[in-house]
Structure 1
């Protein structure tokens, strides 16, 4: 399908399962789950890929000698990748990332156990010639864009904003019969946006957290979710895991997307929702106790805030 992927080694855990003249579907399988990558060739040297992963982590065997420029949009979930020298970066829902795929191999983690988004890739040598040939008068210089966003080996992240949402939201609902031409229009629109964007005021400094910190945060998450009947203060967690309060709070939010207490409330309610659905004979008060609530009324209120329904309404919706 795409000549780009004939020159890229995606790793032994990636297999091509369907291929047509303009589309390829690949599956990534790992012990924690699997994912699919659906690729379309947009122009010669340009691909658009839908990413859908339901897994906790995987190993990326990505290798290539091609000079690439890649743009990733996260629609849902969260992705963690090593940014070099033992530091980790995060792409959150709504974010846009621009990089050259220099640090794209190794361990990849999905802290929320799922990730959905779009990647657009440019083989620089081919795309820089083919896009202007297709679109007469299109003056965007891919090499200038690469210089603008990729002067640092660490991926460049633009936090979610309305213009990015506008460009990508329509790509998730494209009618099949107009896909190819619509992809071309949206790729050109994205390049125009990135070319015109004034970086000052449209980016934010996001700290990169080092391996030791991230490992402690993941140990804290595992500890907190092991027994939902117990609760701990930040001070207790800080002392138990030997991490200062400020990096504890900042790193947890970077890894999991929300502060600790917000994360745990959502985790408890999702766990309760699974019990309400799977065991119709279990009483609501019993489920409330399992997820750490002595008061069924407080549990019902928290459940409604997170799930949008009372526990009984939620259970009845699956009858």
Structure 2
């Protein structure tokens, strides 16, 4: 079965115009997506949010429609990472900024860049992973797996939270990190997400953005 058909089946029960936000597990709604986060679409969409660590959340996002609009707190100290798995997206951010992602591409920016933003989907479908990292929280109290990987929250803030948006094109390194994540059944996603941060740290340490895209 094609990935697009799988998306249609997964979202078929949602009413048209619904952007559903679901906590996984249901008893743990997470911390970054509560309160001010809102999403809307002209089609059907779902965000499955996992509390990876205190200060880190991951959301598997699927949309069938031409656009999705998002509004949330403009937290400059929160780094937002988006990986495009399926489809294409043109993302209108604040102050006229924009980013375009094809399948396998990755974008990074602070949450204030996308606090009131719109994603456009030329293929009328999208699937991807969004990771939100509260760098202030992690600077004060990093989980052991990140501390062992020499995670430096302050350096990430300097690199990626200066007000611009940055992109990494699809490639073997990103494929190696993200492909296994998408293959995990729901019950295994959270444990797998908690084992992945070392890979991110290796990429971040070796990549210096030359400028916004």
Give the TM-score category using the shorter length: 0.7 to 0.9
TM (norm. structure 1) is 0.52
CA deviations 1:45-99 (Å, max 9, x no partner) are: 1011101011102332223446201111101111222244435321211111111
Q: Does 1:159 align with 2:165?
A: no
1:85-96, aligned counterparts within 5 Å? Answer: 85-96=95-106
Within the candidate set 27, 30, 37, 1:21 is matched to 27
1:1-319, aligned counterparts within 5 Å? Answer: 16=21, 20-22=26-28, 28-30=39-41, 32-65=42-75, 67-104=77-114, 105-133=116-144, 135=146, 137-151=148-162, 153-197=163-207
**Partners of 2:74 and 2:112 within 8 A in 1:** no
**Partners of 1:55 and 1:114 within 8 A in 2:** yes
Structure with larger Rg: 1
CA deviations 1:127-147 (Å, max 9, x no partner) are: 233334455533120220221
Q: Which runs of 5+ in 1 are unaligned?
A: 1-12, 207-319
How many residues are matched? Answer: 189
Structure 1 pair 29–136 and aligned structure 2 pair: CA distance change class (3 A):
closer
User: Quick one: distance in 1 between partners of 2:147 and 2:155?
Assistant: 19
Q: Which has the higher contact order (CA 8 A, sep 6+)?
A: 2
TM (norm. structure 2) is 0.75
Q: Which residue of 2 aligns with 1:216?
A: none
What's the offset of the Cα at 1:110? Answer: 1.4
What's the offset of the Cα at 1:196? Answer: 2.3
Q: Which runs of 5+ in 2 are unaligned?
A: 1-17
Structure 1 pair 197–16 and aligned structure 2 pair: CA distance change class (3 A):
closer
User: Quick one: distance in 1 between partners of 2:97 and 2:81?
Assistant: 21
More strand by share: 2
Q: Counterpart of 1:40 in 2: which secondary structure? A: strand
Structure 1 pair 196–177 and aligned structure 2 pair: CA distance change class (3 A):
same
User: Quick one: distance in 2 between partners of 1:102 and 1:156?
Assistant: 14
**Partners of 1:140 and 1:192 within 8 A in 2:** no
More helix by share: 1
> Aligned-residue CA RMSD in angstroms?
3.0
Q: Counterpart of 1:180 in 2: which secondary structure? A: helix
Q: Which residue of 1 aligns with 2:3?
A: none
User: Quick one: distance in 2 between partners of 1:54 and 1:199?
Assistant: 32
